Amino acid sequence: MNEALWQETVNFHGHVCPGIVVGFRASALALEILDKPPKKLDETHIAICENDVCGVDGVQLVTGCTLGNDGLIINNIGKFAFSWVDKKTGEGIRILLKILPWPSNEPLRLHRKVKEGTATKEEKQQWIDARGKRGAELMQLTDDELFDVQRIQMKIPGKARLFPFAVCTKCGEAFMEPWAGIEEGQILCGACKP
């Protein structure tokens, strides 16, 4: 395992948890299977993440497929699965976590309380301890124990993400035209249109 890259991933994400371990390990496995160096996979591949939580940070840091460089699509259907598809050939791999990220839902109830601001100080600490412990447990497992790897074929059409700019007649801020609204002949931005 690339220990330096793991440390960098934890620093980037901010904590150890099941999600970041899964995202890191799936990304490292993808690099191994595709025989590519870290952080440059966006040159040839697009990542598709089937969730929008912690593991996505691992995908972005380890493979370099980021939301901003058009190397990452979030197709959030709540699964811990990550794919990388060759932009030219459409050939890819899908790496699915085949065990449950959490063996019990109890820690997730704590998580909800923490997020909603109703957890006590002790409960908050319990949550932090639980996610760190479960993350460390998952880190000990082999790739075979963690993942199913499938070969996939998928055409991802390229599309423009930058558009001509217009200026909102109400707030005066510039924005890209597809988000424009027209009211009484005036161009309005997404925040000002009714």
DSSP state of 54: T
CB of 172 to Zn ion, least distance (A): 7
Nearer to Zn ion, 8 or 91 (CB): 8
Place of tokens 């890819």: 92
Work out which of 170, 177, 182, 186 binds Zn ion, going by CB under 5 A.
170
Size of site (CB under 5 A) for Zn ion:
9
Work out which of 5, 10, 19, 24 binds Zn ion, going by CB under 5 A.
19
Binding mask 37-76 for Zn ion (x = CB under 5 A): -----------------x----------------------
Beta-strand ranges (E) seen in 36-107 are 45-49, 72-74, 81-86, 91-97
- The alpha carbon of residue 28 and the mean position of all alpha carbons in its chain are separated, in whole angstroms, by 14
What distance in Å separates the CA atoms of residue 75 and residue 154, rounded to the nearest whole number? 14
Nearer to Zn ion, 19 or 107 (CB): 19
Stretch that binds Zn ion, among 17-25, 85-93, 121-129, 150-158 (CB under 5 A): 17-25
Stretch that binds Zn ion, among 4-12, 19-27, 33-41, 94-102 (CB under 5 A): 19-27
Residues β-bridged to residue 91? 153
- Listed in sequence order, the residues at least 6 apart from 142 whose beta carbon sits closer than 8 Å to its beta carbon are none
Nearer to Zn ion, 112 or 170 (CB): 170
Degrees, nearest 5: CA angle 139-141-147: 100
- Of 129-168, binders to Zn ion (CB under 5 A) are 168
CB of 155 to Zn ion, least distance (A): 32
> Across the chain, which distance is largest between two alpha carbons, in Å?
62
- Of 84-103, binders to Zn ion (CB under 5 A) are none
CB of 153 to Zn ion, least distance (A): 31
Radius of gyration of the chain (CA): 20
Q: Does 187 bind Zn ion (CB under 5 A)?
A: no
What distance in Å separates the CA atoms of residue 80 and residue 103, rounded to the nearest whole number? 14
What distance in Å separates the CA atoms of residue 146 and residue 70, rounded to the nearest whole number? 28
Point out which residues bind Zn ion (CB under 5 A). 17, 19-20, 54, 168, 170-171, 189, 192
